[in-house]
Amino acid sequence: MDSATAREQALDAAEELFYGRGIQAVGMDDVRGASGVSLKRLYQLFPAKEQLVEAYLERRDVRWRGRLAEHVARCGDPQERILAVFDWLESWFGEDGFRGCAWINSYGELGATSARVTAQVRAHKGAFRRYLDGLVADAGLPGALAGQLFLLAEGAMVTAGITGSTAPAREAREAARLLLRATAR
């Protein structure tokens, strides 16, 4: 088996297990079993578990923001694009196996012990925040709105994860709509 595909398979298994069960609850042996990549090869590709965790978060970050941006870009109107963020959240919350935001969960698990994980969580949230900044600027709205939308989105992710409901996305969307109207005047 090719080394690049072994890496992908390992990351596929790691993502499903880490996200679904939590990072600390998953052993390297579980990753081996789910991926079919032997322990020897796993440790060649990722010299320690922490590096597998980092690679998991990094790849998921790229994909997550890509999926969001792709969905949002389908909207032409700048204000609609802002609301489309919350529509996408709703469809994400409804996916099988949804269990909250991977970065918020990772922060809860490892934020106090791993500086690398904390840095990756901050980087991910910073990138999402800047993405919202861009959408708000494109709509010609004041920058302060982006922070408020960000908080709504984060609150929705956390609440959807804990309750298992998609409703927070719609509530956040409605709040965002009101804030847009109030801010645009």
Binding stretches for a second copy (CB under 8 A): 20-22, 24-25, 99-100, 104-113, 118, 121-122, 125, 144, 147-148, 150-156, 158-159, 161-163, 167-168, 171-172, 174-175, 178-179, 181-183
Residue 46 or 107: the one with the smaller Cβ distance to a second copy is: 107
Q: Which residue has the tokens 């409703």?
A: 167
**Alpha-carbon distance 185 to 179, whole Å?**
9
Q: List the one residue from 10, 11, 13, 26 that touches DNA (CB under 7 A).
A: 26
**Among positions 8, 22, 34, 43, the unique one binding DNA when judged by CB under 7 A:** 43
Tokens of 92: 């994400």
Binding-site member from 34, 49, 118, 154 for DNA (CB under 7 A): 49
121 in contact with DNA (CB under 7 A): no
Distances in Å between the Cα of 79 and the Cα atoms of 44, 84, 136, 174 are 48, 9, 8, 13
185 lies in the site for DNA, by CB under 7 A = no
Residue of 11, 14, 18, 50 that binds DNA (CB under 7 A): 50
DSSP 94-161: TSTT--S-HHHHHHHHHTTT-HHHHHHHHHHHHHHHHHHHHHHHHTT--THHHHHHHHHHHHHHHHHH
Size of residue set near DNA by CB under 7 A: 21
CA dist., res. 65 & res. 67, Å (int): 5
Can you give the binding site for DNA, defined by CB under 7 A? 1, 3, 6, 24-29, 36-41, 43-44, 47-50
